[in-house]
Amino acid sequence: MNQIALADHYRTVRERSLQLASPLSAEDCCAQSMPDTSPTKWHLGHTAWFFETFVLELLETDFKPFHPAFRVLFNSYYNEVGDKHPRPQRGLLTRPGLEVVLDYRADVDRRIGRLLVAGSVDASLLTLIELGLQHEQQHQELLLTDIKHLLSRNPLLPAYGSAIPCAEAAPALAWQEFTGGLVEVGHAGGGFCFDNEMPRHRVFLQPYRLATRLVSNDEYAAFIAAGGYADPAFWLAEGWDWRAGQARDYPLYWQRGDAGWQEFTLAGLRRLDPHRPVVHVSYYEADAYARWAGARLPTEAEWEHAAAGRPVSGHFADSGEFHPRAAVGERLTQVFGDAWQWTQSSYSPYPGFRVPAGAVGEYNGKFMVNQYVLRGGSCVTPEGHVRASYRNFFPASACWQFSGVRLAQDA
């Protein structure tokens, strides 16, 4: 991306974060509902901190921080940068106020803008800014998933956005076969990617098949009705213990109502739409459902092989709906958007992977343990942010993200 295009993209992405926060009150922006989530105010501050710490501090000749204490307050997990405010206590940061955080963002934007118009810009600066924008888009998604969790804990069950239209009936689930063989996976070059998508390498795949769409709410409800949550035969031992410890009998945000299942959404509490994909299921739940259905979860290499060469189009956050839609079409669909798709692959380095030097190298590599890979993006992922090689990752117990299920089988 050249200097002028990047400057335009910078303004667009940064403004989008403010737009996502605009429906919220100052009180909404400060609260934290659990240790795994962060307040909206913190997301806004941290994404400014990223540019201040990794771009301005490096390249401004007369650099001075907006506020010295922000180096600790808005540091997430970069140990090389220094101390961090404890993550579970981010909701206690009533100061600085939201207006100060917005001033912080505006100050950083002015200073980045000066760098981008200062004649010829070094390629390393363009690379850092693009990384910062991709990082901010990740936090835009987290802002929405975190505020959904927060609002769901409010007895008023408030809505973040407008009503969601009813979905049309989804097509019957079918299977698409792939021959497998020796294939290449990983980023192929040409455009941005994160370090964990490289290097491109070869893997051997046995013939396999993928379900043509994501598992629907109606299909998942059948698993519940059949006693799937009460039968240890379908569950990994750790998943069974998690289910018992959480007293979990159905997905996060589902509720039993007098007229049937209801689901909390960013548009408030609504009747569960049977045709839309099930979301907010943990790896444990996704794996248990797959076993019950006589299938399995795909590997990340199978998923990427199937997705490679397909247009990166689907239902993303740009629609403003912030809820998955029902599948359309009989062939392989919902590859991108709607819901992140759990794979059975542990998040680990590709052969030949090397962690980049410096604090930015902490971005991905140090998390390659005790996590599983998800693919495809979701209805709260910014359009244009994902690609076939994109690797998301979460612990097996995580379910506050828009995570869903695509089934796979050996062919």
Domain count, the chain: 2
Q: Does 49 map to a domain?
A: yes
pLDDT at 59: 87
Contact between 370 and 395 under an 8 Å Cβ cutoff? The reply is yes
Residue 181's H or E segment, with its range, is strand 181-185
Q: Does 157 map to a domain?
A: no
Q: List CB contacts of 8: < 8 A, sequence separation 6 or more.
A: none
- Are 58 and 189 contained in the same domain? no
Q: Does 162 map to a domain?
A: no
Q: How far apart are CA 372 and CA 172, in angstroms?
A: 28
DSSP 105-133: HHHHHHHHHHHHTSSS--HHHHHHHHHHH
Name residue, tokens 């759990």.
342
- Are 248 and 291 contained in the same domain? yes
Q: Does 112 map to a domain?
A: yes
The token pair at 148 is 């959904």
For 366, the 3-state DSSP assignment is: helix
Q: Does 220 map to a domain?
A: yes
pLDDT at 328: 92
User: Taking Cα atoms as reference points, which of 6, 212, 305, 306 lies closest to residue 126?
Assistant: 6
Of 105, 120, 152, the residue that ends a domain is 152
- Are 132 and 9 contained in the same domain? yes
Q: How far apart are CA 25 and CA 39, in angstroms?
A: 12
Residue 68 lies in domain: 3-152
- Are 256 and 114 contained in the same domain? no
Instruction: For residue 254, give the CATH number of its domain.
Output: 3.90.1580.10
- pLDDT values of the chain reduced to their tens digit, one per residue, 411 residues: 788 888 999 999 999 999 999 999 999 999 999 999 999 999 999 999 999 999 999 989 899 999 999 999 999 999 999 999 999 999 999 999 999 999 999 999 999 999 888 766 788 888 899 999 999 999 999 999 999 999 999 999 999 998 788 778 899 999 999 999 999 999 998 899 999 999 999 999 999 999 999 999 999 999 999 999 999 999 999 999 999 999 999 999 999 988 899 999 999 999 999 999 999 999 999 999 999 999 999 999 999 999 999 999 999 999 999 999 999 988 999 999 999 999 999 999 999 999 888 777 777 889 999 999 999 999 999 999 999 999 999 999 999 999 999 999 999
Residue 70's H or E segment, with its range, is helix 70-73
- Are 291 and 352 contained in the same domain? yes
Q: What would the pLDDT profile of 189-238 be if each residue is shown by its tens digit?
A: 889 999 999 999 999 999 999 999 999 999 999 999 999 999 999 999 99
- Are 125 and 179 contained in the same domain? no
Q: What would the pLDDT profile of 283-338 be if each residue is shown by its tens digit?
A: 999 999 999 999 999 999 999 999 999 999 999 999 999 999 999 988 999 999 99
- Are 334 and 196 contained in the same domain? yes
- Are 90 and 226 contained in the same domain? no
Contact between 309 and 191 under an 8 Å Cβ cutoff? The reply is no
pLDDT at 275: 95
Q: Does 163 map to a domain?
A: no
- Are 124 and 208 contained in the same domain? no
Q: Does 167 map to a domain?
A: no
- Are 80 and 220 contained in the same domain? no
Q: Does 285 map to a domain?
A: yes
- Report the relative pairing of strands 201-205 and 181-185 from DSSP bridges: antiparallel
- Are 262 and 371 contained in the same domain? yes
Instruction: For residue 80, give the CATH number of its domain.
Output: 1.20.120
- Are 99 and 147 contained in the same domain? yes
